[in-house]
Amino acid sequence: MKFKDLKVGDSNVELYALVIDCKTKQTVNQTPYFGLTISDGDDQADARIWTVNIVNTLKDKAIIPGEVYKFVVKVNDYAGKNQIIIGQVEDVDPNVVDLSSFYKSAPITEEELRKEIKGYIQQISNPVLKKIVVDLIGKNADKYFRHQAAITMHHNYRSGLAYHVYSMLKLAKQMVENYPSLNQDLLYSGILIHDIGKTVEITSDKTPSYSLEGNLLGHIVIGLTMLAEVVKENGFERTEESIALEHMIAAHHGELEYGSPKEPMIAEAVALYLIDLTDSKLTGITEIVSKTEKGTYTTPVPTLGRKALYVPKID
Amino acid sequence: MKFKDLKVGDSNVELYALVIDCKTKQTVNQTPYFGLTISDGDDQADARIWTVNIVNTLKDKAIIPGEVYKFVVKVNDYAGKNQIIIGQVEDVDPNVVDLSSFYKSAPITEEELRKEIKGYIQQISNPVLKKIVVDLIGKNADKYFRHQAAITMHHNYRSGLAYHVYSMLKLAKQMVENYPSLNQDLLYSGILIHDIGKTVEITSDKTPSYSLEGNLLGHIVIGLTMLAEVVKENGFERTEESIALEHMIAAHHGELEYGSPKEPMIAEAVALYLIDLTDSKLTGITEIVSKTEKGTYTTPVPTLGRKALYVPKID
Amino acid sequence: MKFKDLKVGDSNVELYALVIDCKTKQTVNQTPYFGLTISDGDDQADARIWTVNIVNTLKDKAIIPGEVYKFVVKVNDYAGKNQIIIGQVEDVDPNVVDLSSFYKSAPITEEELRKEIKGYIQQISNPVLKKIVVDLIGKNADKYFRHQAAITMHHNYRSGLAYHVYSMLKLAKQMVENYPSLNQDLLYSGILIHDIGKTVEITSDKTPSYSLEGNLLGHIVIGLTMLAEVVKENGFERTEESIALEHMIAAHHGELEYGSPKEPMIAEAVALYLIDLTDSKLTGITEIVSKTEKGTYTTPVPTLGRKALYVPKID
Amino acid sequence: MKFKDLKVGDSNVELYALVIDCKTKQTVNQTPYFGLTISDGDDQADARIWTVNIVNTLKDKAIIPGEVYKFVVKVNDYAGKNQIIIGQVEDVDPNVVDLSSFYKSAPITEEELRKEIKGYIQQISNPVLKKIVVDLIGKNADKYFRHQAAITMHHNYRSGLAYHVYSMLKLAKQMVENYPSLNQDLLYSGILIHDIGKTVEITSDKTPSYSLEGNLLGHIVIGLTMLAEVVKENGFERTEESIALEHMIAAHHGELEYGSPKEPMIAEAVALYLIDLTDSKLTGITEIVSKTEKGTYTTPVPTLGRKALYVPKID
Amino acid sequence: MKFKDLKVGDSNVELYALVIDCKTKQTVNQTPYFGLTISDGDDQADARIWTVNIVNTLKDKAIIPGEVYKFVVKVNDYAGKNQIIIGQVEDVDPNVVDLSSFYKSAPITEEELRKEIKGYIQQISNPVLKKIVVDLIGKNADKYFRHQAAITMHHNYRSGLAYHVYSMLKLAKQMVENYPSLNQDLLYSGILIHDIGKTVEITSDKTPSYSLEGNLLGHIVIGLTMLAEVVKENGFERTEESIALEHMIAAHHGELEYGSPKEPMIAEAVALYLIDLTDSKLTGITEIVSKTEKGTYTTPVPTLGRKALYVPKID
Amino acid sequence: MKFKDLKVGDSNVELYALVIDCKTKQTVNQTPYFGLTISDGDDQADARIWTVNIVNTLKDKAIIPGEVYKFVVKVNDYAGKNQIIIGQVEDVDPNVVDLSSFYKSAPITEEELRKEIKGYIQQISNPVLKKIVVDLIGKNADKYFRHQAAITMHHNYRSGLAYHVYSMLKLAKQMVENYPSLNQDLLYSGILIHDIGKTVEITSDKTPSYSLEGNLLGHIVIGLTMLAEVVKENGFERTEESIALEHMIAAHHGELEYGSPKEPMIAEAVALYLIDLTDSKLTGITEIVSKTEKGTYTTPVPTLGRKALYVPKID
């Protein structure tokens, strides 16, 4: 049962949903209740639990954001909108329900992403670049292939980070053909590791938020530190390859005012910046345009400074 | 004979060269002479004519920039550098000498460009978009396929404009695959005509400079006027297609401060801007990096605000 | 009866008012009602219709923003303020009521504006400039003399566009006297047509909003297209006059960041920009200052970035 | 005899000229000579004195910049240009030669300016404003009516400051008619004294340069100090009039980044800023455009950030 | 009794508190009541007076912001928070209650500040500088030692202005030692008077707000006027000392965009700017960090553009 | 013998000087010669070697920039200035001549700096912070105490980096007293290592220039990498101390546009930024002001965007 199928007057409806947020609140006369934001994988909705002690039967005696539960609900009308009232809540057996369907994910599966990205890594022939890339991704593979690329801006879904890298690599392939002075090994390597710091900047794949390092250092500085460690372990200090990769991570935001401590000073760093800019903007746009009717304006687009786009009526 | 093969002490050398510039000057004791900048197709050099009346035998009684001549020269040493002294000059028979080898041109021939771009036009299925594109390019085909894309920044050679369009279309193809909400017809059409105003902004293919319209209006405004004419002739006024294309020409510099009177407000206009930005920068970079030794810095790159790049020693 | 004469406890008051906005709303217990914003020509007020079916007797079975109606109302007290409750509503016979008094208008009538502006056009002696101006204004005369100059910023009332032009022409007359190198014909022509695109950018004179072309192209690009059509019809392409006028429309916002694709590059374009800037700011200020008591601060001024002004106590 | 009438080979020519600059220099073999820049009122030229002791007969035993002298010269050819060699120099009797013709001056005479400006002052009816204006201009009348308005930007000639004020007052008259909420007394007063600090910022009318106060404080701060003195002498402290005038001087550059410590916050201060901006730009433009042939570009215009303008071929 | 000791159900509690704000409001059924913001010196709280006529027994028949009163209150629960209901109010005898404890004050007393600052003044040996400083502070001593340094940003408490000066002088002492070319007399003098205009910009020490001069001129312009008066009274016009001090007041915001009409152009003015910047930022930070638990983020810091800081868990 | 003691006509003068630069040049008739820039420790001068083979007796058969030589010279007059002609050149025995006197150095000796800085390190009581600081400085001590702090801006002399740190620590001491919420251990530690990356960014103490890492990464990124290594060696990863120090290095330029990938987000990082800003500016100013006569303007100051300062005539 999806939220969009609920209607006023429904009662005793069984509903599986992911809890995004759960806060304790109080009515005017000081009675506590829970206000929840829940997701069925497609849409989000608000819901209320008036009888707070129904959570005592749960294994954690509480509702944990990031987890999926089975709810029994009725639907009231509140100011012309559906209001979901939760009467019962149960833990969910992961063997029975496909939990992954409640989390928004990249358009292709984690396995496919692992296979595609591995394919690009194998095309790197320079041994120093390849070793650095293999080690950095290998040490952080779980997070690398599951984390989002951002909290709210773009690729903000499971495996968003890896999908962003994969999408960039496809653009890079065409660029290397168009602009033959670009070094393919270096450009692919730079793309593969440019956002490695996000595995630490963003806390987890279930309830992503910024870590302390994320707030105080940001993914560029974190990534530089992670790269330095791998460089040292392999004895690659002060090689042209390690300096070039450090530069590419440092410069990939393109301009000082976007948080890069250096502007791109090698050709492949310029290319990396342009591919990253292109993929961030166009992925964010595609997600929103694909949900918008032709001949109307979109909701504000986060990667365009919250401007709205018009979708022309053109076939 | 190329300039790089000349050495001090050479005399009576026959040399075919394109004249870039020819100015009348005067020695300290008021004797007039000519100071020339000439090109052998690869390099440029300075040269002098001390006996100015040798030009009287030419058909124009003068040396015309943009033309190729046959020179008889000797080579002196001037402060440690070669100084080319021209003793005789003759008009060149275009049937005997391949003049085109003296003009810098796009990496592929005009014929190939015409064929490749035609192929992309044929992929446009929307009839309104296709008619507009065919008419606009058709009316201006000679200039469209021969003009430079800019005077000094990038693609500043014969057919540079068409080569820029072709290079952008190849990137667009990959983008449409990556971001399926992009309308291929609209994106291809926008790319094909976005710089159409440059056929008027830049005066000619031989000695390119900015026209009065170029200086006072710029290629965006000129292009909008050219598009308006074709739209009116076909009765396409106020169709979604014509408005979208007008918007794409208007917005293709991406930001107001770069001369776009509107920022991109449809997805394909954002994509057009990003592809144009990418191709301008990376073409300018490729031309310079390909002439630079690994492990050294390039000369200043015009499309990067005259910053120099480092070319890493990485195979 | 004006709004400012209503007082709590009034009932069965007949009131003629323009509807600015009418939205369907719902009470806490889901009863629908209408929330209106209405205007008596001087002031705006909120009003409510609790019995929604009273609109069924209207010819459109609905209340249409931009129209004037006769209302029968009573006045309640709501949190210390007047609340207008509408009990009856009737269509208005335009023969009986002077509808124009409900729309805010320019300080002088449309007829006077037509006469004054015609006077300035007759002072243009250059035949090319005069023909372009006469054709452009002639083709769009109804909108040109009735439209607002903007939705919210300045001259946002009936005939605001023409009044803005008239006010600018008066300043221009003094400028031509002060700065004799200015070409009066060119400056007058540029002022007369600089905002011609607003006749398409803004949809109508009754309920003005931005058209699709307004949003995607803006009045500068629209105006350039309209001018190009008139230039072509008269065979004036590539004359100094047509290029100069195109430049003046393109450059009249003065700086790239304000949406001009070119900065002013002829003296009359600089003058046009300065006169437009001056009239926009000082008209917006005059409207607000004239309603403000001396010794106090104004409400935020839209044309000054919403800063408030102080009105000194000086006679 | 004007410079433009001199030709190579002339000798024993008597020439009256203003000395702009005179520097001691040295030939390669250490012989001292003088390098001068001189002006005939229309044009400037370089000149040389090879025999330095000819200045010993002058009353100051030296050539003083800012003074007019009688020279006896011959004209040599130097690299194709006239070179003026001075053989004799004499002091000039001011009763015999009209020295004022050697200084560039405002288009109307100082007497006319005094009369016109007096006329505007008499239109001020508010007694506090009038007293402040009369005192401030009265105390500094000589400098006020003789100084330039700037060293290089605009109105950089004798009485330029007063001419700038006069030109602004004419614009203000039309503005007060257009925008009736403007207080004429306050606007006229503000214009009359807004640049009063320039009488101290710029050192003299003969060889103008910036004083120490000019460099460290600027004419806005200097003007505020001069106003404060007059306000105190009259006991007008903390009147609305004195505060408004202080604000108008402080805010007349319009934006913080142009050196105004406050942005305009009263209507008349906004008007003053716009009139000052307009007169500065259009006067600077008029001076240059009037010397430029139609159909060509001007030299760089200082008040437009050194951009060149195009002067259209339009009658 | 402090606010933090109140709990729901308390009644007949006697409470001394400073009134920050008192507004007349109205219940839904139009009954008037008072909504107050009160302070016990440490914390602020909201309170209500339902029975408005209890104020009639006060000497002013009204509650005056900036005054301390004795209240008799009860404490209700309102949506989970304490709600203070005032039942009685009495004037306070200043002989009985130490009113100063209700106003937030600088960390050291006014007497200590007077003594410390006097000590620094005595170290100034240049007689002109010393006389100017002594006169300027002497004439405005009451306000100088009691006013806040700002309404909301930093040092926004009693004697905040003098404490800011004192704190800056301590930094200056170390700077003069570090950078021996700084003139100690000039730097101390500049610090002592740089904010003198705030004694007029901010209206009073009890209920501080911006005066008309504050809004229209700002403390830099006001300070320059105050300085000019003292300079004139002493006959110090156009001395190096007076020009330097005028420059230091004018330039102490460091950049045009922060309201300085001149950027620092003497070494001591640069030092003054840097010391002022440092003390403003670090005082604002210290006040907030000292109330924040280690390992958490602060509330937004006004002097850092409302960014939050992290307070590390480091001993 | 110092340069300032040389006069025209001197010959056979023995002179010890440091070679800053030595370039091969050519006379008009192609004879090679050497053009040198040499320093006597106080001043720089140009010199020439007309007989190039006199260098063949040197141990390197060439003159090496960064080395000190003994020259035998005569002094000619060239356009009114001294021209040093070198007739003989010899290698210098470092046992005989105190070479260090030819290099510009910090105001106090390297030994004193080592001792002072050691004293501050000993005041750090937090063991994690102390260990990091001791290790980082210990590993790089030679460079840390000998390198310049910059190539051209400020502290551009031997031990300039350490002197900059020492000067900052003295300011920090006063700040910790003024603003008690600052953690002294953290602030001292941050100051001590904030520029550690300059030991790699700048190549050497003799002929300093930017290394490849300096150009591509900058001292912030290099410093972060060096810190990461020490953190890892000690097992301090992800401690509050290591994250805080990483943040302080990253943020010490204060704003993104000055190359900091993060703006300061902890109080001590704000303090570090302000102290660094203050010391850079005031040291650069002190060096120049101390050489400038009172009552005149300085040469352009590099740390003030090349503005000139005025030095008032105030005792």
Nearest to B77 among F30, F212, F216 (CB): F30
pLDDT at A7: 85
Beta carbons of B262 and C216 less than 8 Å apart? yes
Quick check: F4 and F42 in contact, CB under 8 A?
yes
Structure tokens at D63: 């050539």
Nearest alpha-carbon partner for E249 in A151, E20, E241: E241
Interchain contact, E77 vs A215, CB within 8 Å: no
Which tens digit of pLDDT belongs to each residue from C132-190? Answer: 999 999 999 999 999 988 877 678 888 999 999 999 999 999 999 999 999 999 999 99
Q: How many angstroms separate the first and last alpha carbons of chain B?
A: 34
Indicate if the pLDDT at residue E261 is higher than 80.
yes
E260 near D CB under 8 A: yes
- Span F41-51, pLDDT tens digits: 777 888 999 88
Q: What would the pLDDT profile of C32-91 be if each residue is shown by its tens digit?
A: 889 998 888 777 888 999 888 899 989 888 898 888 999 999 998 775 677 899 999 999
User: For residue D203, what pLDDT is reported?
Assistant: 86
Q: Is D308 on the interface with F (CB under 8 A)?
A: no
Mean pLDDT calculated for residue range D24-52:
81
- At D97 the pLDDT is 80
Residue of chain F whose Cα is closest to the Cα of A200: F238
Contact E312/F266, CB-based, under 8 Å? yes
The token duo for E250 is 């004018």
pLDDT tens for D54-70 read 999 899 888 988 889 99
Q: Is the pLDDT of residue D214 over 80?
A: yes
Distance in Å, alpha carbon of A54 to nearest chain B alpha carbon: 45
Q: Is F277 within 8 Å of chain E by CB? A: yes
**Candidate from A162-176, B66-80, E20-34, E287-301 with smallest mean pLDDT:** E20-34
Q: Do B216 and D79 touch (CB under 8 A)?
A: no
* Alpha-carbon span E219 to E199, nearest angstrom: 8
CB D176 within 8 A of CB D117: no
Has residue D28 got a pLDDT over 70?
no
Tens of pLDDT, residues D265-305: 999 999 999 999 999 999 999 989 998 999 999 999 988 98
Q: Which long-range contacts (CB under 8 A, 24 or more apart) does C113-122 make?
A: C113/C145, C113/C159, C113/C162, C113/C163, C113/C166, C114/C145, C114/C162, C116/C166, C116/C169, C117/C162, C117/C165, C117/C166, C117/C169, C117/C192, C120/C169, C120/C188, C120/C192, C121/C188, C121/C192
Q: Three-state SS across E160-219? A: HHHHHHHHHHHHHHHHHHHCCCCCHHHHHHHHHHCCCCHHHHECCCCCCCECHHHHHCHH
pLDDT at F123: 97
Contacts of D30 in chain F (CB under 8 A): 77, 79-80
Of the candidates D256, D111, D257, D266, the one whose C-alpha atom is nearest the C-alpha of residue D189 is D266
Q: With an 8 Å Cβ cutoff, are C267 and D309 in contact? A: yes
Residues of chain E positioned with their CB less than 8 A from the CB of F313: 240
Per-residue pLDDT band for E129 (boundaries 50, 70, 90) equals very high
* Mean pLDDT for all residues in chain F: 91
B84 DSSP β-pair partners: B47, B75
Mean pLDDT over B236-255 rounds to 97
- Residues of A within 8 A of F250 (CB-CB) are 217-218, 221, 261
Residue A162 Cα distances to A142, A172, A175, A215, C305, angstroms: 11, 15, 20, 22, 44
Spatial distance between the Cα atoms of E170 and E164, rounded to a whole number of angstroms = 10
Q: Are strands C81-91 and C68-78 parallel, antiparallel or unpaired?
A: antiparallel
Is pLDDT above 80 for C204?
Answer: no
Which residue in B221, B229, B266 is closest to C224 by CB distance?
A: B221
* Residue B205 banded pLDDT, cuts 50, 70, 90: low
**pLDDT score for A28:** 52
Instruction: Give the one of C178, C240, C289 whose C-beta lies nearest to D167's C-beta.
Output: C178
Return the sign of the alpha-carbon dihedral for residues F43, F44, F45, F50.
positive
CB contact (8 A) between residue B79 and residue F216: no
Q: What is the pLDDT of residue B29?
A: 58
- Alpha helices by DSSP H, listed for chain C, are 110-122, 127-139, 141-146, 160-178, 184-193, 198-201, 212-216, 218-233, 240-251, 267-289
What's the rounded Cα separation, in Å, for the pair C38 and C17? 6
Phi-psi region of E107 (alpha: psi -120 to 50; beta: other; left: phi over 0): alpha
Quick one: which of E181, E150, E141, E155 has its CA closest to E271?
Answer: E181
H helix intervals, chain B: 110-122, 127-139, 141-146, 160-178, 184-193, 198-201, 212-216, 218-233, 240-251, 267-289
Can you tell me which residue has the tokens 């900047």? A201
Rounded CA gap, E256 and E275, in Å? 18
List Cβ neighbours of B264 (8 Å cut-off, separation of 6 or more): B247, B251, B252, B254, B270, B272, B273
* Segment F202-228, tens digit of pLDDT: 987 667 889 999 999 999 999 999 999
Q: How many residues can be counted in chain B?
A: 315
pLDDT at F95: 81
- pLDDT value of residue C96: 79
pLDDT digits (tens, 9 = 90+) for B100-113: 778 788 899 999 99
Hey, are the CB atoms on F262 and A225 less than 8 Å from each other?
no
Confidence bin at C205 (pLDDT 50/70/90):
low
Is the pLDDT at A205 greater than 70? The verdict is no
The answer, yes or no, to whether residue D79 has pLDDT greater than 60, is no
Q: What tokens appear for F98 in the block? A: 């105190």
pLDDT tens-digit readout, C254-285? 999 999 999 999 999 999 999 999 999 999 99
What pLDDT, in 10s, does the model give residues E74-97?
A: 998 775 677 899 999 999 987 878
In the three-class reduction of DSSP (H, G, I as helix; E, B as strand; rest coil), residue F142 is classed as helix
Tell me the C-alpha distance between D181 and D177, whole Å.
9
How sure is the predictor about F138, in pLDDT bands with cuts at 50, 70 and 90?
A: very high
The per-residue DSSP string of F233-259 comes to HTT-TT-HHHHHHHHHHHHTT-SGGGT
Contact B244 C218 (CB under 8 A): no
Given a cut of 90, is residue A138 above it in pLDDT? yes
Contact C73, C16 (CB under 8 A): no
Task: Using the predicted structure, report yes or no on whether residue C245 has a pLDDT greater than 90.
Answer: yes
Contact E28 C79 (CB under 8 A): yes
* Average pLDDT of the segment spanning D245-253: 98
Which amino acid makes up residue F111? E
Number of H helices, E strands in chain A: 10, 5
- Tell me what pLDDT residue A80 has: 61
Please tell me which residue, B164 or F64, carries the higher pLDDT value: B164
| C299 has pLDDT over 80 | yes
Question: With a CB-CB cutoff of 8 Å, which residues 197-236 of chain D face chain F?
Answer: 212, 215-216
- For A44, D148, E231, F163, the CA distances from D198, given in Å and listed in that order, are 66, 8, 20, 45
**Residues F163, F144: Cα–Cα separation, whole Å:** 10
The dihedral sign for the CA sequence B125, B127, B133, B134:
positive
Facing residues of D90 across strands? D70
CB pairs under 8 A between A and C: 9
Q: How far apart are CA C145 and CA A196, in angstroms?
A: 61
Residue scoring higher pLDDT (F26 or B142): B142
Query: F79, D28 in Cβ contact below 8 A?
Result: yes
What is the rounded distance in angstroms from the CA atom of residue A194 to the CA atom of residue A223?
7
Residue D4's CB is within 10 A of a number of other CB atoms, namely: 11
Q: State the pLDDT confidence band at C302, using cuts at 50, 70 and 90.
A: confident
More confident residue, D95 or B300: B300
Distance CA A315, CA A294 (A): 9
Which H/E stretch holds residue F57?
none
Nearest-angstrom CA–CA distance, A184 and A174: 11
Contacts of B111 by beta carbon, 8 Å cutoff, 6+ apart: none
Please provide the average confidence, as pLDDT, over all residues in chain E.
Answer: 91
Judge whether residue F30 has pLDDT over 70.
no
C15-39 per-position pLDDT tens digit: 999 888 888 887 655 678 899 988 8
Q: How far is CA E22 from CA B10, E36, E120, in A?
A: 99, 4, 42
Mutate to test the interface with A, among B164, B182, B248, B278 (most CBs of A within 10 A): B278
Give yes or no for a contact between A226 and A196, defined as CB atoms under 8 angstroms apart. yes
Question: How many whole angstroms separate alpha carbon A159 and alpha carbon A157?
Answer: 6
- Look at residue E271 and tell me whether its pLDDT is greater than 70: yes
The predicted pLDDT at position E79 comes to 57
For chain F, what's the residue count?
A: 315
Using the Cβ of D28 and the Cβ atoms of chain F, whether some distance falls under 8 Å is answered with: yes
Helix, strand, coil shares of chain D, percent, nearest 5, are 45, 20, 35
Chain B environment of D310 (Cβ under 8 Å): 212, 215-216
Q: What is the pLDDT of residue D27?
A: 66
Least confident of A141-150, B28-37, C55-64, E285-294: B28-37
The pLDDT tens digits of the residues spanning B3-39 come to 888 888 889 999 999 888 888 887 655 678 899 988 8
Identify whether the C-beta of residue E280 lies closer than 8 Å to the C-beta of residue E198.
Answer: no
CB B144 within 8 A of CB B199: yes
Can you read off the two tokens belonging to residue B137? 């390019």
Say yes or no to pLDDT of A58 above 60. Answer: yes
pLDDT in tens, E229-243: 999 999 999 999 999
pTM: 0.88
What percent of chain D is modeled with pLDDT above 70? Answer: 97
Q: How many residues does chain D have?
A: 315
Neighbours of chain C (3+ CB pairs under 8 A): A, B, D, E
Average pLDDT, chain A: 91
Task: Retrieve residue C248's tokens.
Answer: 């003046």
Q: What is the CA radius of gyration of chain F?
A: 23
With a cut of 90, say whether residue C98 has pLDDT above it.
no
